Each structure stands twice: as C-alpha cells, then as structure tokens.
C-alpha cells in the first residue's frame, strides 16, 4: 500500500476517534435531553445551582426567565415550584398537592420584587422578599443541602 494513503488513513482514524471527545468537552454537542430539560431542575446538584444562579442574575439584570423545580421529599410526593419572572417581579408558585404528608395541600403563589441566593456553611437558600402587601418580608422559598452538590 502507498505510504501517503496509509498516513492519510491514520490521520482520518485519529480524527474520527478524537473529534467526538473534543465535541463533548467543548460543548459543541449537547444531548437533546440536557437541552430540553435545562429549565426543569430535579437533582438540585451543582448544575441546578448554576441554573438557579442564572435565574437570580437574570432577574437582577431586569431580564425574564422561566423554570420549574421539582423538589423531591424523602417519603412522599414532590413539591413543584413554577417560577416566572419578567425582570421586574418574580412569581413563584409552590404546589405541594402531590405530597401525601403535606397539610394543607395547596398551591401557594408569591409575587415578589426581590430574589437572592444565600449561602450558609450547610446549605443554599433561595429567598424572596418585598412580596405582595409587605407580608413575608424575607421568605426562604427553596432550601438545598450542600452535600447534594455533585
């Protein structure tokens, strides 16, 4: 076989094996499932914390955003958080109706003018403030344990 042909075939084989690695590492390729679920948070891990940081940042820059957080409980159904902001107010709805042990079962909606992420030594807390008629001035709405970071 011709030496040039062998070198070209080796180069093609190298690129064929190396390009998928480069594509994944540089995020040229992102699985469709990850793209489709970027606004649905379930794991409350490092990726989800970054998405929550993005929500807070977008709100503070007066930009809109929308996401859903499914907060699983230990022994019963999930709490579902629907979050919408137009950049001026944040509307956060908490639905615990699927949790067998919640009492009362209800959907509670908060419309607030401020949201922030607070970090303690053990957890992250998303906190709403300036809500409605001045009640619930500081409302911890979502609590994430740090040991869940991955």
**pLDDT tens for each residue of 7-22:** 877 766 666 555 565 5
Which tens digits make up the pLDDT trace of 89-117?
999 999 988 887 777 888 999 999 999 99
Considering the entire predicted model, what is its pTM?
Answer: 0.71
95 Cβ contact list (under 8 Å, min separation 6): 79, 80, 81, 82, 106, 107
Helix/strand/coil (H/E/C) assignment for every residue in 49-64: HHHHHHHHHHHHCCCC
Q: Hey, how many other C-beta atoms are within 10 angstroms of the C-beta on 57? A: 12
Three-class DSSP category at 45: coil
Q: Coil, helix or strand for 111?
A: strand
SS3 138: strand
């Amino acid at each position: 076989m011709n030496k040039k042909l062998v070198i070209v075939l080796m180069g093609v084989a190298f690129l064929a094996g190396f390009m998928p690695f480069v594509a994944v590492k540089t995020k040229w390729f992102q699985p469709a499932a990850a793209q489709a679920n970027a606004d649905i948070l379930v794991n409350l891990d490092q990726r989800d914390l970054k998405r929550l940081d993005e929500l807070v940042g977008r709100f503070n820059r007066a930009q809109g955003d929308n996401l859903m957080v499914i907060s699983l409980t230990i022994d019963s159904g999930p709490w579902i958080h629907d979050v919408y902001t137009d950049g001026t107010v944040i509307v956060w709805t908490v639905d615990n109706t699927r949790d067998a042990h919640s009492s009362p079962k209800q959907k509670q909606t908060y419309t607030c003018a401020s949201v922030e992420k607070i970090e303690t030594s053990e957890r992250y807390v998303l906190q709403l403030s300036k809500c409605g008629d001045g009640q619930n001035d500081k409302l911890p709405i979502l609590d994430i344990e740090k040991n869940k970071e991955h």
